Chains A and B, each alone.
Chain A
Amino acid sequence: MTTPHPSVAPPADSAGWLRTGHTRHEAAFRALCKLAIALPLCLLVVLGGSLVVEAWPRLGASFVTSYPSRFAESAGILPALVGTALLMGLTALFAIPLGVGAAVYLEEYAQKTRWSALLELNITTLAGVPSILYGLLGLELFVRVMDLGRSLVAGAATLALLLLPMLITVSREALRTVPRELREACFALGADRAATLRRVVLPMCMPGVLTGIILSLSRAIGETAPLITIGALGYVAFLPTSLGSAFTALPIQIFNWVSRPQAAFRANAAAAIVVLLVLMLLMNGVALWLRKRLQKRITG
């Protein structure tokens, strides 16, 4: 991690072309910097406050257990919640083996060749592709060519591809925390790469990998654009019955309500946003807790 440079301090008496700032100027500049940091944070706090105020009347048990409705007052998010839960589960199922597998390959198996350089470049490139373009890929590949329809499984496959670059990156970081000496000790005992991986490397980096997985999923839970592109519906008055069911998800439901002109639906959107943010906070909390717990188990 980076730290400032405390050992380096300017001499009290200074002269020449570098002397652009006096102490007074520095104090003013410090204040300006603090303002630059405080401004967006305050904006977020104020907006978050307004959001909760707007959402408050709608937040209740019936909001979570009801189906959407033409009447804003009786509409709820049950199908969206169930859809989001199933979507996240499926996405994790698809993305984790691919993401962790690719990370292990790059860190433990791949020689430094052109192929691995190409893989690196490719992951950097993919990370920069706008999420809506993953939606277009999902629309053609999963919805049409593989004929999965506008279904849960098509949505999850699309989100899994979107998550891959992030998942690979966080898993690689976790793998790098395992000291090289431990691998060498394993090899010295006669273990092959696969055994070293299963017995030593993976157990050791598990806290990091798990934390990374949960943080990645908490990003995916708010993804809206790719799901819109593959055709997730805004109004679903039933629960998904199979992997091939049409579905909605929390961010889609929010978007659907935000797009309506009536103020009552805006309040619904605000309430659904509060639920979404609480879910994200919970996931982040679990990630932190897990990291602490597993780390303790390994080191102590």
Chain B
Amino acid sequence: MALDPLSDVRAAALASTHAPDLRAPRSLRERAVGALLAGAAAVSVLTTIGIVVVLVREAASFFAEISPARFLLDGEWTPLFADKHFGIWPLVAGTLLTTGIAIAVALPLGLLAAIYLSELASDRVRRWVKPALELLAGVPTVVYGYLALSFITPGLQHVVPGLAGFNALGAGIAMGVMILPLIASLSEDALYAVPAALREGAYALGATKLGAVFRVVVPAAASGIGAAAILGVARAVGETMIVAIAAGQQPRLTLDPRVPVETMTAYIAQVSLGDTPHGTLEYRTIFAVGLALFLLTLALNVLSHRLRRRLKGAAA
């Protein structure tokens, strides 16, 4: 059937001059490389499975000794003392308190920054403000811990009477500065995704710039801003070094920001620093706390993800 007997030869010659190595033997190499790469991708799945298995297994042996009722109903957390109590609420309270302070700092500032960058600022201003804000997220958390302990808390002690050297307030403020860029940049994305037609419509109805921002753009972006805030909460809940350094290590069922508290993460770090032997009940407590931490951050992340997806669906 060959109309041109030379065509195959020519094609081969062409291929060999222009792309000599591209015609190496295919299927085997192709499949091998594909399998190798799929293996690399599978490692990330194995990591997730590994985290869940490790936490669940050790936590299960913890709960075999300490009933979940004692974990959830006791109001004291003293597993390292002679008089042992295993109520997680003091750690949860410490976590919520520092996280609450962080969000109280980061949400208003981050939202104002986002509105400014998305709706009001000129291109030139945005170009240097955005990287400057990103810088805040790049500072290692151990450094924020040091700053909170050595500078923020002593500074606050002039203003807040009765503020202890270790406290939730200083740690919370440092954590707020840390998560501010995250909230600002995700909120800005949400504001920016609001179609220009909505703004134009508002202006056509006689809106001022601020009227359009607050009555139209911000409400339209509400679910995205909510997603940003929740992600900020998740980040603050999981943050370890700032609270381990500056918030103290005293589990305490309180919402007083002036006294030392301990968060779930700080407890895990505290036990890891000591020489708690493997297989003891004390050792297993960190996995029980870790499991609670994992479930809490997972729930927050899923919620945030859902909100963001809804936003995307609405914009499309």
Residues on A facing B (Cβ under 8 Å): 2-5, 7-11, 13-23, 25-26, 29-30, 32-34, 36-37, 39-41, 43-44, 47, 50-51, 54, 97-102, 104-106, 108-110, 118-119, 122-126, 128-137, 139-141, 144, 161, 164-165, 168, 186, 189-197, 199, 218-219, 221-225, 228-231, 234, 251, 254-255, 258-259, 266, 269-270, 273, 276-277, 280, 284
> B133 at the A/B interface (Cβ < 8 Å)?
yes
- Mask of B29-64 contacts with A, CB within 8 angstroms, 1/0: 110011011111101110110110011001000000
Instruction: List the 6 closest A-B pairs by CB distance, nearest first.
Output: A222-B140, A130-B238, A21-B210, A101-B40, A18-B207, A33-B116
Which B residues touch A251, using CB under 8 A?
Answer: 140, 142, 241
The answer to whether B139 touches A37 (Cβ under 8 A) is no
Number of residue pairs across A and B with beta carbons under 8 Å?
Answer: 314
B163 to chain A, nearest CB (A): 18
Q: Are A225 and B297 in contact (CB under 8 A)?
A: no
User: Which residues on the A side are within 8 Å of B211 (C-beta)?
Assistant: 10, 14, 18-21
Q: For the complex, give the distance between the alpha carbons of A8 and B298 in Å.
A: 40
CA distance A126 to B47 in the complex (A): 8
Contact B272 A119 (CB under 8 A): no
B22 close to chain A: CB less than 8 A: yes
Collect the chain B residues with CB atoms within 8 Å of residue A222's CB: 139-143
- The answer to whether B132 touches A41, judged by C-beta atoms less than 8 angstroms apart, is yes
B215 touches A102 (CB 8 A): no
A-B contact pairs, 15 of them (CB 8 A): A2-B188, A8-B196, A51-B147, A101-B37, A129-B297, A130-B237, A137-B54, A141-B54, A190-B15, A190-B22, A191-B19, A199-B22, A221-B140, A266-B146, A276-B140
Contact of A223 among B129, B140, B210 (CB under 8 A): B140
Q: B286-316 vs A: 1/0 string, CB under 8 Å?
A: 1100100110011011000100000000000
Instruction: Give the chain B neighbours of A119 by CB distance below 8 A.
Output: 41, 44-45
B116 x A9 contact (CB < 8 A): no
Contacts A14-B206, A21-B210, A195-B21 given; indicate if A101 touches B215 (C-beta within 8 A).
no
Contact pick for B212, options A4, A10, A43, A231, CB 8 Å:
A10
Residues of the A chain whose Cβ atoms lie less than 8 Å from the Cβ of B244:
225, 255
Complex CA gap A125/B215 in Å reads 34
Contact present for A219 and B33 (CB under 8 Å): no
Bound together, the chains give a CA A258 to CA B174 distance in angstroms of: 16
A13 CB → nearest B CB, Å:
8
Query: A33, A54, A109, A137: which contacts B113 (Cβ < 8 A)?
Result: A33
Contacting pair B196 A25 (CB below 8 A)? no
Residues of A contacting B273 in the complex (Cβ-Cβ under 8 angstroms): 228, 234
**B79 contacts A by Cβ under 8 Å:** no
Contact A224 B142 (CB under 8 A): yes
CB distance from B295 to the nearest CB of A (A): 11
Q: Which residue of A lies closest to B268 (CB)?
A: A132
A10 to B297, CA, bound (A): 42
Q: Is the CB of B47 within 8 A of A161?
A: yes
- Decide if B203 touches A10 in the complex (CB within 8 Å): yes
